[in-house]
Amino acid sequence: MIETTMAGPGPQPSAGVWPTLSWRGRRLYRAGAEHRILSGAMHYFRVHPRLWRDRLRRLADLGLNTVDTYVAWNFHQPHADRAPSFDGWRDVEAFIELAGAEGLDVVVRPGPYICAEWSNGGLPAWLTARDVALRTSDPGFTQPVERWFDHLIPRIARLQAGAGGPVVAVQVENEYGSYGDDHAYLRWNRTALVARGITELLFTADGPTELMLDGGTIPGTLAAATLGSKPEAARELLARRRPQEPFVVAEYWSGWFDHWGEHHHVRGVDSAAGTLGAIVADGGSVSIYMAHGGTNFGLWAGANSDDGRLQPTVTSYDSDAPIAEDGSLTAKFHAMRAVLGASGTPRVPERLPVLPAARVPLTHRAGLLTGLTAVPAPAVDGPHPATFEQLGLDAGMVLLTAYPKIPEGRHRIVLSDVRDRAVVFADGVPIGVADGGDHELSIDGTGAEVHLQILVENLGRINYGPLLGQHKGLLGPVLVDRRIVHGWTSTPIALPDWTADDLRRATGTGRPRTAAGTSTGFAVANVHVGEPADTFLALPGSAHGMVWVNGFLLGRYREIGPQVTLYCPAPLLHAGVNTVVVLDTDRLGSVLELRERPELGPAEEYIEEFD
């Protein structure tokens, strides 16, 4: 048995079982031997499951002994009236077991809030629609979390090291000190984990400031840090506050994520490797965030907010990680590998095979509104536009329809509180785009009713900060001049749920084709593949939309950048003809390009610091 001491009560055995990881004298031990956690973050929900093993081997080749992953609640339970799913891509147990088979320990971060630049910080939209006090002791929040934990935590518990599995640590909540100070909620979270069988090391993770540590730490639970620079200052701060605890950096940001309309963030190799060396010096433990970022497939990318301005995250989650989005080993990989003391040649190839470059014509099949309304959806009538939450919709679009009478002459159409983007049509003709907030558009009336349609798109739910859980849709009234428009039909368009049959309805092969290169709506490209391999898709000439590959929603593209190409992993393709469907709300180009290299945009060097 290992004696452990710390400021406060220290870790205690649960159900008579001592955790595999423990500490004394600012040193971490694993089953009695001095140990460092050398971990890399990789999220099973951002990597195709047929590539899990390849990416885990790349983590091990980096010189790591551990992988850590969040668990995204909304990925497992997008609908309140259905039990959480744990099969296929959502089989988190299979991911954990595979990591163990590859010789890696596993750290699990079950939240329920995870941030992670993931939609809604991992919280289901059906929960945040209820306007409960998120991440607090409010029973309206904790009771649904309890039911979720009833499904999830026993699955993790059975895979703990004490039961012969690879799980050696579990996080209590996530960077709570950056959000609130309800310590009763943090203690509840910890108790909920223990009550459902967690006996391994429990820890919190917060930024290395007094404010964040005051809000996010609790007695008897290891306090870890999250940082991008200045590890020496963090080590000193934690040593003062927790004099017996080892220095553990639960997230070391060796790169950063990107927002649409901004630069692609990178971090210099020497800077990233140098800070890593300073963290692991003198017995320090670390998790590189991200070691392999992967992809925000579908519409799972989250968003931030800067003074009320939405900052949607791009589809790629490459994050300038040492293992690139497609698994390639980067210069940062080799520099970090040297710091971590790995020797020999990596077992995995530097890069997986890619398809040859090609240009494939896009055949325009259906106009925007024609295609979107070809898939049946339950509409709701009411005096005001319905929000995404009122329609039970997480992501996608809502089509709002009304018939206001507009007098002769020029008038204003005023849209209030647009979340997040709206394309406005009058009698089927687009008259403008409202991109967040309040907007005015002009319209020429004739004295007759106008068929007014507003297509509202959710660009990503906020994943961090006090606006977490913010609702989507057209939240304020629509006015003609100063008169409110009443009598709306609101139709949800659940694009992430569309099947291959739905896509065939939307593209409408029997409909007349319109001119390519000038219209909006749906287009199709038939891509011939011999041996499936990775590729990178680009849409020159197209402006703003989404791409499906063989019925799978790959993600969103936007000409505002910085991301230009979408990563398409080999498992999404098959030998023969592959169908790529493009939906563009603004402007459809005429060609789909297959490229051999990613293009993530003009770079801007970035290091996150706490002052």
Domain count, the chain: 3
Residue 516: both structure tokens together: 């390519």
Round the CA-based radius of gyration of the chain to a whole number and report it: 25
Q: Which of 496, 513, 540 is the last residue of a domain?
A: 496
Report, as an integer, the average pLDDT of 157-165: 98
- Asked if the structure places residue 14 within a domain, the reply is no
Question: Do 477 and 517 fall into the same domain?
Answer: no
Question: What is the reported pLDDT for 1?
Answer: 22
% of the chain at pLDDT higher than 90: 92
Question: Do 479 and 509 fall into the same domain?
Answer: no
Closest CA to 202 of 248, 142, 144: 248
Boundaries of domain holding 556: 358-367+498-595
Question: Do 492 and 508 fall into the same domain?
Answer: no
- The pairing of beta strand 201-206 with beta strand 167-171: parallel
Question: What is the reported pLDDT for 258?
Answer: 98
Report, as an integer, the average pLDDT of 564-570: 98
pLDDT digits (tens, 9 = 90+) for 349-360: 999 999 999 999
- Asked if the structure places residue 110 within a domain, the reply is yes
Question: What is the reported pLDDT for 18?
Answer: 82
SS3 151: helix
Quick one: the chain helix, strand, coil %, rounded to 5? 25, 30, 45
Question: Do 546 and 421 fall into the same domain?
Answer: no
CATH number for the domain harbouring residue 475: 2.60.120.260
> 383: pLDDT confidence band, cut at 50, 70 and 90?
very high
The span from the CA of 267 to the CA of 270, in Å, is 9
- Asked if the structure places residue 158 within a domain, the reply is yes
Question: What is the reported pLDDT for 15?
Answer: 58
513 vs 145, more confident? 145
Report, as an integer, the average pLDDT of 380-401: 98
Given 173, 200, 245, 251, the catalytic residue: 251
DSSP calls for 269-338: HHHHHHHHHHHHGGG-EEEEETSB--B--TT-B-EEEETTEEEEBPSB--TT-SB-TTSPBPHHHHHHHH
Question: Do 140 and 267 fall into the same domain?
Answer: yes
> 364: pLDDT confidence band, cut at 50, 70 and 90?
confident
pLDDT digits (tens, 9 = 90+) for 191-248: 999 999 999 999 999 999 999 999 999 999 999 999 999 999 999 999 999 999 999 9
Cα angle value 135/314/262 (rounded, 5°): 105
Provide the strand spans (E) within 385-487: 397-402, 409-426, 429-445, 452-457, 473-474, 478-480, 483-484
pLDDT digits (tens, 9 = 90+) for 268-301: 999 999 999 999 999 999 999 999 999 999 999 9
Q: How many DSSP H helices and E strands does the chain contain?
A: 12, 33
CATH number for the domain harbouring residue 273: 3.20.20.80
Q: Which of 478, 496, 514 is the last residue of a domain?
A: 496
Is 251 designated active site? yes
Residues 6+ apart with CB under 8 A from 361: 516, 525, 590, 591, 592
pLDDT digits (tens, 9 = 90+) for 568-608: 999 999 999 999 999 999 999 999 999 999 999 998 887 76
CB 175 within 8 A of CB 122: no
The span from the CA of 54 to the CA of 349, in Å, is 10
Question: Do 473 and 526 fall into the same domain?
Answer: no
Tokens 């200052």 locate to 233
Is 97 designated active site? no
Closest CA to 99 of 173, 26, 42: 42
Question: Do 511 and 473 fall into the same domain?
Answer: no
- Asked if the structure places residue 600 within a domain, the reply is no
Amino acid in position 218:
I
Question: What is the reported pLDDT for 12?
Answer: 54
- Asked if the structure places residue 503 within a domain, the reply is yes
Q: For the chain, give the mean pLDDT.
A: 94
Rounded (10°) angle between helices 92-101 and 52-61: 40
CB 477 within 8 A of CB 438: no
Question: What is the reported pLDDT for 16?
Answer: 60
> 484: pLDDT confidence band, cut at 50, 70 and 90?
very high
Tokens 């929040």 locate to 141
Closest CA to 572 of 506, 507, 500: 500
Q: Which of 474, 496, 518 is the last residue of a domain?
A: 496
Amino acid in position 28:
L
pLDDT at 517 over 90: no
DSSP calls for 90-134: G-HHHHHHHHHHTT-EEEEE--S---TTBGGGG--HHHHTT---T
Question: Do 258 and 143 fall into the same domain?
Answer: yes
Question: Do 422 and 532 fall into the same domain?
Answer: no
pLDDT at 513 over 70: no
Report, as an integer, the average pLDDT of 521-537: 98
CB 296 within 8 A of CB 117: yes
Question: Do 489 and 524 fall into the same domain?
Answer: no
pLDDT at 307 over 80: yes
Given 173, 175, 245, 389, the catalytic residue: 175
SS3 155: helix
CB 83 within 8 A of CB 151: yes
Question: What is the reported pLDDT for 605?
Answer: 81
% of the chain at pLDDT higher than 70: 95
- Asked if the structure places residue 147 within a domain, the reply is yes
The span from the CA of 77 to the CA of 284, in Å, is 36
Question: What is the reported pLDDT for 131?
Answer: 86
Question: Do 415 and 513 fall into the same domain?
Answer: no
- Asked if the structure places residue 295 within a domain, the reply is yes
Question: Do 322 and 417 fall into the same domain?
Answer: no
CB 182 within 8 A of CB 135: yes
Amino acid in position 503:
L
298 vs 13, more confident? 298
pLDDT at 365 over 80: yes
- Asked if the structure places residue 98 within a domain, the reply is yes
CB 455 within 8 A of CB 423: yes
